[in-house]
A = this chain, B = another copy of it.
Amino acid sequence: MTVDLFDEPSDTREEILAATYRALRRHGYAELTIQRIGDEFEKSQSLIYHHYEDKDDLVLACLEFMLERFQTEFVDAEIEAPRAALETTIDLLLVTDPDPDRLAFHRTLVDLRAQVSHDPTFAEHFARSDRLFQDRLAAILAAGVDRGTFQALDPDRVATLLFTTITGAFYRDATSDDRAWVDDLREELDEYLEMRVYA
């Protein structure tokens, strides 16, 4: 995932969401306030209140915006060569050596997923987000099975293992200071793909 989704906001709404993202990165969810979002926003703070009710409304709109962007740029793309598509998707999602910006983005996402205890709307959002990426993997696997590039397999089952493993890597990477496991994971995931997926 990229962190430059907010680089070129095209209207006031996107400027507000970009400001929300920057404020989240800087302060974390617990310390986030509309005032702090306003500090990251170049126009009048009253515009924020005009568009959004409260902090959670803004944060969820920000997450929703990112998910729509990912969907357009990445999930809706045509699957031309299934093996290349699978490898590209895994490379995109599987953390290997994130730069500080991307790591901060990942930590922000873990911080937001942790909000589920006080606001179930976050659990709904992340269920939808997980589903989107996992279904993309399943669609690529199904395309490979159809074309005989992949073995006969249950695309949903294999996609579930792949996406859950990638999610585990994301979470470990964002919240532990150990990276010694990363190469082993990549190698073993390749071994699994060779045994289970590639024809």
| CB <8 Å contact, B185 and A161 | yes
Question: Are A114 and B124 in contact (CB-based, < 8 A)?
Answer: no
Please tell me if the beta carbons of B177 and A168 are within 8 angstroms of each other in the complex.
Answer: no
Interface residues in chain A, defined as those with a beta carbon under 8 Å from any beta carbon in chain B: 28-30, 104, 107-108, 110-111, 113-114, 116-118, 120, 122-124, 126-127, 130-131, 134, 154, 156-158, 160-161, 163-172, 174-178, 181, 184-185, 187-189, 191-192, 195-196
Main secondary structure on A side of the interface with B: helix
Most chain B beta carbons < 10 A, residue from A104, A114, A166, A185: A114
- What 9 A-B pairs come out closest when comparing CB atoms? A168-B168, A30-B30, A127-B178, A113-B175, A123-B177, A127-B176, A167-B168, A160-B184, A161-B188
In the bound complex, residues from chain B placing their C-beta under 8 Å from that of A130 are: 172, 176, 178, 181
